Amino acid sequence: MSIEHMALQVAQPAEMVHWWCKNLGMKVLRQMGPEAFFMADEGDRVVLEVYHNPAVGVPEYGAWEAGRFHVAFASDDVKADAARLVGAGGRLEGALDEIKPTEAGDVFAIVRDPWGIAVQLVCRAKPLG
C-alpha cells in the first residue's frame, strides 16, 4: 500500500491553495467544488487535499508548535527561501541570521504561512530519498 494523500481542513482553501502554488511550487491536480482541492508538489511525490467542511472545526494550526505539526519542503537555499516566503506574507520563527547548518550539515527554518501552518524548509547534507 502507499499513501494517496494527506488532508488539511482550513477556513480559506482557495486562498491557501493559491498562496501555496505561487510560493511553494505546488500545483492543483483536481478541484472538487469551491471548497476542496488536491495539489501536488513539484515532483508529484506528495499530494495534499486542502478543504473546508463547515461540519468540522478548523484546527488551530498557528497555536501548534512546529514540532507537533509541519509540512516540510526541500530547499537548496533555506535562508533565501525563508526571506522570500516572509516577503509573500509568511512569518519566520526566529531570525534569518539564526539559520545555520547543524553539526550534521542540515539547514532548517520554519515559516508560518498566512494561515498559521508551519512550513519547514530543509536542506539536508544527505537527502532522505
Share of the chain above pLDDT 70, in %: 100
Average pLDDT over residues 118-126: 97
Alpha carbon distance 121, 78 (integer Å): 6
Amino acid at 52: H
pLDDT value at residue 78: 98
5: CATH: 3.30.720.120
pLDDT at 113 over 80: yes
91: CATH: 3.10.180.10
pLDDT at 129 over 80: no
What's phi and psi for 51, nearest 5 deg?
-150, 165
Q: How confident is the model at residue 95 (pLDDT cuts 50, 70, 90)?
A: very high
pLDDT value at residue 70: 98
Domains: count for the chain: 2
Q: Return all residues near 81 (Cβ < 8 A) that are at least 6 apart.
A: 73, 75, 109, 121
What residues pair up with 123 in beta bridges, in sequence order?
107
